Structure 1
Amino acid sequence: MADDNRVLSWRELLSSKFRLATLTLALSIALYATNFFIFATLAPSVVNDIGGLDLMSWATTVFVVTSIVSSAAGGMIKAWLGSRRSLVLSTIVFALGSVITAASPTMEVVLLGRVVQGLGAGLLTAYSHSMVREMFPAASWPRMFAVVSGGWGVAALSGPLIGGIFAEFDIWRWGFGAMAIAACLFIPVSLRAVQPGGGGETGNAWGAVARLSLLGGAALILGGLGKVSLPGGDISLITVSVALLLTAILWERQTIRPLFPRDMFRPATALGGGVIFVFGITFATTPTAIYGPLLFRAIHDIPLITTGYIVTAQSMFWTIAAIVFSNLSRKASRFACIAGTMIVILGVLGTSQFLPRGPLWAAIAGISTIGFGIGLAWGHIGRFVLEAAGEQDKNRVGTVMPTMQVIGIAFGSSVAGLIANANGFDRTLTEGTAEAVAHWIYLGLAPAAVVSLVGAIRVATETRTPIGRSL
């Protein structure tokens, strides 16, 4: 299949040969993404029922931390168990976490459930990217990344609605129970779609566990911003977090048993460029999901439910661009990597000007432009990242984009929080404060988008030719 240079049509992807594989890929992403949006919608109902408001922010933090750790460990676990058993394991863990959350009598148990959910969700996202490489022709990889984007787009629209229904009838536990049921229904689909085999690799895993601990520690410390007090404040926490992350990266580069592909942290390679792109682009575009609803409401006086769907414009235009531009030639794919990133930069700068000052349509256009640019570039960056991995890294390459995406979100949200609080967000949110926050969080994070352009150029200009293929 790797030698097939033909891009599969959408009809072929739904044919008997690829239907199960396409469905498995879409559902694996939909499970993760829908859970993300449902939890955000149900969180107030959880607090109203069992209390624990002071711990609620940790529910997202521990989920992100364990997602990072399990996503990074995905290649190692896959090498041990093989693709099929690893995918089933991740789904079972996700379902178990959903059941624990649904049955929680206290917020402390909710946190435990979210830890387990995060472990399963991180593995699911890592294996979804591995499935793109293993189950579809190389020329169709951008199209399959469009399927992944489509899963996020559908979840962005349906997740808040589904969660809202459970919240409206005061049955929030059934919302998480529904996620557990959906995960259980996904297992037989994945068993039919993914062939048994693979795995069996053994070796000393203590070094890998230590590096995973460093990654998890870095993410957990970031999650503590605004929640714990240390001498030097939040700057100290960020410094310690960066130090732990750099230690993990330097150790990873030297080890003989890496968690990630060999070239992942080498900026001069296509893999290294892909890492820079994913980290920078997610870092720079995080504010929309976190602050968008509140800022649109405070500045433009829009009902909260309406602002929630306005903010999904970024996700929807990501999905639209990914689908529309999924069938490009190799040369055009390289151009899309750079052009998409430049569009994101324009969108970030435009949003920093129009969200605080209006008009409303221009602010919506700004976040839509961000999403369009990401969608244009993302799948083609993914194509070249997957191609750049050699045979020795085939089990590990699926971890690259999802791991760096979550790390980028973690660091981006933390820096955005510092900028927002410096402009008065942690005090009374007046219209003037909201305008200042809206301007500076996008403008302050814009340099990360410029850094992502450096990575996109590196990927697009990489001259290495995949084995068995020609330019």
Structure 2
Amino acid sequence: MSNIEHSTPLKSATIFTLFSPRLLPATLMLGGGVTLYAVESYITATIAPSIVRDIGGLELFSWMTTLFVAAGVLGSITVATRPKGVGLRAVYIAAALTFGIGSLLCAIAPTMPVLLVGRAVQGYGSGMLSGLAYAFIRFIYPEPLWRRASTLYAAIWGVATVLGPTLGGLFATGGAWREAFIVLVPLAVLMAFSARRLLPDVADDRTDTRTPLVQIILLLAAVLFVSVAGTIEHGSLKAVLIAVSIALVAAMVLIERKSEIRLLPYGAVMLSNPIARLYLTIFTMMLVLTSDIYIPYFLQTLHGVTPLVSGYLVALVALGWTIAAFFSNSFTGRPAAIAIIAGCILETAATASLIPFLATATPFSEVAAFAPAVIAMFLMGFGVGLGWAHLVTRIIGTAKKAEQDKASAAISMTQSLGGAFGAALTGVIVNSAGLTHPGGIAGGLSAAHWLYALMAVPGLVAIVLSFTIKPASA
């Protein structure tokens, strides 16, 4: 089945065209899958302390996130490596049911090990749902609407950074952490049953369905190592784990270049190929953006901001991403290419500007002096949102037709990898710079200076890469 028929003239189409009567069902299904993955990532992080207080397992605390992220990466890979003849709609149904089973296991878990199994199952299902959103784009929408759909998914991730912790806080406040999982079960079942009616049964147009097992194992091991690195405090051990992760990714890349059975679309591991530079730009932008995870700590420690206010302030990063995504979604051709370049420059400049703006002991009450830091937070997210949808659209459009499932699945995978490596790297930087020793104001100032100085470096790489991305035809 080809693209869903619609009556809206494409030249006048906007992002709201995705919600036209003919496209609305599919848009809700695909957007719903991304929403589950995005929001659940943040909800569990918020209710995790309540879970530990109830069923114990503090020593396994970090694995709630680690297993979810690793399983999510595997889920996105599954979209492209599914058995021959299995359609995307069937995978969607399986993904929704898997997510529901995982949520149910988490809700009824009597101990932490059982909950971890549920988190892994839940992560696997949500990873598939996220990957399917991009895989379905070319079948659901005509090409002029691809970037509109990508904009919508980017906006969902931006909103999730605010909505997830807020919902998690509501459940955690009442000690109702099990309810935070159980409410997802009927929703997942509804999505699975609705998929048969609301999503098209598209043909499997892949020519090579062999499973690149070695590359998958190496990549998952890298994700696990770097995710664990992001959860431990010992600086030297954290650095070793990151180094091992990088070595595993390097080994995967070498095998991918020589193997006939590939995990990624052709050219994705050769820097001379445009699609490789597109993926690397996404990876570096996500890597830089994760430096925002320490903003609440610096706000509270260095500027006397309350936890609630610091939460709202860091949400400006998400707000910037969302606003920029809508602002640039109509760009095509050269304006779209310029948006990618401008986005990389803005994100990098905003990150570096946090050194003089945030890495100070300026009281939050001095609004005029603190305003530049607030603007910089907003521009960090704005930079990512400005070019994100255009990067995604270019990847899908650049990949060969028989490899577009691989290309689509790799978008979600690359985003997760950037976040995982970024979280681990920021931990190494701040701990090495004195966040805990000597700690306090002095340690916070040192950590903030080094964090935003070093995390701006990958942004320079993104800027260089962005200038090599040629404009696509409008």
In structure 2, the residue matched to 1:27 is 32
In the alignment, the residues of structure 1 paired with residue 68 and residue 398 of structure 2 have an alpha-carbon distance, to the nearest angstrom, of: 30
In structure 1, the residue matched to 2:366 is none
Indicate whether 1:422 and 2:432 are aligned. yes
1:335 to 332, 335, 338: 338
Indicate whether 1:58 and 2:63 are aligned. yes
What is the CA-CA distance between 1:419 and the residue it aligns to?
0.6
Q: Is the 8 A contact 1:381 1:456 kept in 2?
A: no
What is the CA-CA distance between 1:320 and the residue it aligns to?
0.7
In structure 2, the residue matched to 1:277 is 281
What is the CA-CA distance between 1:139 and the residue it aligns to?
1.8
For residues 48-68 of structure 1, what are the alpha-carbon distances to aligned partners after superposition, in whole Å with 9 as ceiling and x for unaligned? 111122211121111111212
In structure 2, the residue matched to 1:388 is 398
For residues 171-229 of structure 1, what are the alpha-carbon distances to aligned partners after superposition, in whole Å with 9 as ceiling and x for unaligned? 11000111223222222343323212434979785x52222111111111112327689
In the alignment, the residues of structure 1 paired with residue 156 and residue 120 of structure 2 have an alpha-carbon distance, to the nearest angstrom, of: 23
In structure 2, the residue matched to 1:46 is 51
In the alignment, the residues of structure 2 paired with residue 416 and residue 200 of structure 1 have an alpha-carbon distance, to the nearest angstrom, of: 41
In the alignment, the residues of structure 2 paired with residue 308 and residue 27 of structure 1 have an alpha-carbon distance, to the nearest angstrom, of: 25
In the alignment, the residues of structure 2 paired with residue 161 and residue 227 of structure 1 have an alpha-carbon distance, to the nearest angstrom, of: 23
Paired residue type of 1:431: I
Equivalence map 1:114-153=2 (5 Å) = 114-153=119-158
Equivalence map 1:277-426=2 (5 Å) = 277-288=281-292, 290-357=293-360, 358=362, 359-426=369-436
SS of structure 2 residue aligned to 1:263 = coil
In structure 1, the residue matched to 2:456 is 446
In structure 1, the residue matched to 2:175 is 170
Please, which moves more after superposition, 427-436 or 240-249?
A: 427-436
Q: 1:5 to 1:416 in 2, by over 3 A?
A: same
The 4+ residue runs of structure 1 with deviation greater than 4 A are: 1-5, 200-205, 226-232
SS of structure 2 residue aligned to 1:286 = helix
Please, which moves more after superposition, 140-149 or 225-234?
A: 225-234
Paired residue type of 1:451: V
In the alignment, the residues of structure 2 paired with residue 209 and residue 134 of structure 1 have an alpha-carbon distance, to the nearest angstrom, of: 28
In the alignment, the residues of structure 1 paired with residue 92 and residue 389 of structure 2 have an alpha-carbon distance, to the nearest angstrom, of: 22
Give the TM-score, by structure 1 length.
0.92
Q: Is the 8 A contact 2:222 2:244 kept in 1?
A: yes
Q: Is the 8 A contact 2:34 2:130 kept in 1?
A: yes
For residues 387-428 of structure 1, what are the alpha-carbon distances to aligned partners after superposition, in whole Å with 9 as ceiling and x for unaligned? 101112122111122111111111111111111111222446
In the alignment, the residues of structure 1 paired with residue 132 and residue 242 of structure 2 have an alpha-carbon distance, to the nearest angstrom, of: 30
2:116 to 108, 111, 131: 111
For residues 416-465 of structure 1, what are the alpha-carbon distances to aligned partners after superposition, in whole Å with 9 as ceiling and x for unaligned? 11111112224464122122212211211111111112222222x26xx7
SS of structure 2 residue aligned to 1:458 = coil
Paired residue type of 1:316: L
Q: Is the 8 A contact 1:7 1:139 kept in 2?
A: no
Q: Is the 8 A contact 1:62 1:114 kept in 2?
A: yes
What is the CA-CA distance between 1:252 and the residue it aligns to?
1.7
In the alignment, the residues of structure 1 paired with residue 227 and residue 341 of structure 2 have an alpha-carbon distance, to the nearest angstrom, of: 32
Q: Is the 8 A contact 2:15 2:329 kept in 1?
A: no
In structure 2, the residue matched to 1:208 is 212
- Structure 2 residues not aligned, in runs of 5+: 363-368
SS of structure 2 residue aligned to 1:224 = helix
In structure 1, the residue matched to 2:444 is 434
What is the CA-CA distance between 1:79 and the residue it aligns to?
5.0
Aligned length: 462
2:245 to 217, 241, 260: 241
What is the CA-CA distance between 1:31 and the residue it aligns to?
0.7
Q: Is the 8 A contact 1:129 1:398 kept in 2?
A: yes
Paired residue type of 1:286: T
What is the CA-CA distance between 1:134 and the residue it aligns to?
2.3
- Structure 1 residues not aligned, in runs of 5+: none
Please, which moves more after superposition, 54-63 or 184-193?
A: 184-193
What is the CA-CA distance between 1:230 and the residue it aligns to?
11
In structure 2, the residue matched to 1:223 is 227
Q: 1:236 to 1:162 in 2, by over 3 A?
A: closer
In the alignment, the residues of structure 1 paired with residue 186 and residue 298 of structure 2 have an alpha-carbon distance, to the nearest angstrom, of: 35
